[in-house]
Amino acid sequence: MNRILVMFLSTASVSCLIGSPAAAKETPDLLTLGLAPPPGAVVLLDGSNLDAWKPFSFQWLNPNDDQKEIQWKLVDGQAMEIAFEFKGKPRKQFVCTKQKFGNYRLHLEFQLPEEGSGNSGIFFGPLYELQIFNSAEKESAGMSDCGAIYQIRAPDVNAALGPGEWQTVDLEYRAAKVGANGFMTEKGAARVTIRLNGQLIHDDFRLSLRRNKYAAFPEEPLSPIVLQEHGSKVKFRNIWVLEKPSKASNGP
């Protein structure tokens, strides 16, 4: 099928093509693998440099904000990969975007290593984590498997692919409305819709619960996107963000 035509298939059509977890694992992503950023998008990674990123600092992870140089590296002419050492010494490092975002659409592609758990994560909003993990062989995915909003919600289907295959994340995030007291309002909780490898795994989910070790990260209208280093050489490529008008957060 012509790739351009496939990219414009409706969500309903995609569901027919890859409606079951088994089909998803047998059918390559026909929607957004290699999708170019649309006009107006902020390109976070195109393989040429790491200029959009910096070391992340929060509580126990680089608490003194003294990691000034990125130890991640560019590989394969298009991707970035976790590195576990800096100047010959072991060091843990998450990276985050220099720019902060409110309401946005995020596109990202990742590849699990052939060995190990493939453990990593994509943090969006005030550090809600979209889990990356080698869980393609599971019948169903739990709250710590690939595609889960870690410790908050399991994906509706297990759409994960195996090690060595490039996978896509397409995420639409609407930031919470924050009250004068600095906390999100009850009716203004953040919301997220996520597709993994073309399958809808979280549909306009209301993020009213903060439940992971990063839950103390401040709830603010703008926040960075963070990539986690968790002991596995996960690769990332083709990362871009399309910001949406802030007035979208004033909806019901």
- Kindly give the pairing relationship between strand 166-174 and strand 73-75: unpaired
Instruction: Tell me: pLDDT of 22 over 80.
Output: no
Closest of 224, 229, 130 to residue 171, by C-alpha: 130
Mean per-residue pLDDT, 231-240: 94
Q: Look up the domain containing 106 and give its range.
A: 3-250
Dist. CA 9–CA 168, nearest whole Å: 16
> In the chain, how many domains are there?
1
pLDDT tens per residue across span 25-61:
444 444 799 999 999 999 999 999 999 999 999 888 8
Q: How far apart are CA 146 and CA 168, in angstroms?
A: 12
| Whole-angstrom distance, CA of residue 165 vs CA of residue 137 | 14
Range from 34-38, 148-152, 220-224 carrying the lowest mean pLDDT: 220-224
Nearest to 196 by CA among 245, 131, 104, 140: 131
Q: Which CATH number do you get for residue 100?
A: 2.60.120.560
What is the pLDDT confidence band of residue 248, given thresholds at 50, 70 and 90?
Answer: very low
Please identify which residue in the block is written with the tokens 């440099």.
Answer: 49
Share of the chain above pLDDT 90, in %: 60
What mean pLDDT value characterizes the chain? 84
